[in-house]
Amino acid sequence: MTQLMTPIRPLLVLAATAALALGASACGTTTADVESGRILFIENCGTCHTLAEAGTSATIGPDLDASFAAARASGQETDTIEGIVMAQVEFPRPTNDDPAVSMPPDVVEGQDLHDVAAYVGRWAGVPGAEPPKVPGGPGAQVFANKGCGGCHTLAEAKTGGSVGPNLDEVLSGQSAAMIHEDIVAPNDEIAKGFPPNVMPSDYEEELSSKELEDLVQYLVESTGDKGAAPQGGKAAGSKPKG
């Protein structure tokens, strides 16, 4: 997902039309779920866009905080920003002179689009925004920031995602070294019942070494293997999350 937003001036030009689109599309739909929108944004948009509250810092597409900061400061309402997001996702326009790398239309659709638009509308350009704090220490924070719960079930984190394997089941008994490999090389051995290339394979670049270590330790402790071996290289029998 590379071009969710155009620069701020064209965005403001679109505001009235987008707001009307939002009003029309909202009729007869369920209320948007901002929390679900956060997870969907991290999964579908965070690899290209910066948004402070989501903990994402990609630069392929526009920085959404920078794009909407002036509009929000000038008094633009959350629902107006939400409408702009919906219009841009449904009808993206190339703004980088290279349509081949522009955002495809309908990267999220239906209720998911409502949820993502509501989330971005709520948080884009909000001064001082940052990812919500969660209990459980720094590893739990990394798990939350990266939206892992949107794909995985983990009882300790109170998440119920099903895109990837249930971590309580597949990580139980694994060492820290094995879990580390599951995260950084998820396609080396695919968990039964799940296709390849679902889980991002760039976490070793996306996370600092400390964040990765904290996440591994959190998963070790959360899935019951208190006596896991120190983090290290590839472990035989690793069962990645998918």
Quick one: pLDDT at residue 202? Answer: 87
Q: Which tens digit of pLDDT belongs to each residue from 36-53?
A: 999 889 888 887 899 999
Q: Which tens digit of pLDDT belongs to each residue from 88-114?
A: 999 887 655 565 567 888 889 999 999
Domains in the chain, CATH or no CATH each: 8-123 (1.10.760.10), 138-222 (1.10.760.10)
Q: What confidence tier does 231 reach under pLDDT thresholds 50, 70, 90? A: very low
Q: Name the token pair of 78.
A: 């959350």
Q: Is the pLDDT assigned to residue 216 strictly greater than 50?
A: yes
Q: Name the token pair of 227.
A: 């006596």
Kindly report the CA angle at 185 between 179 and 191, in degrees rounded to 5?
70
Between CA 219 and CA 168 the distance in angstroms is 9
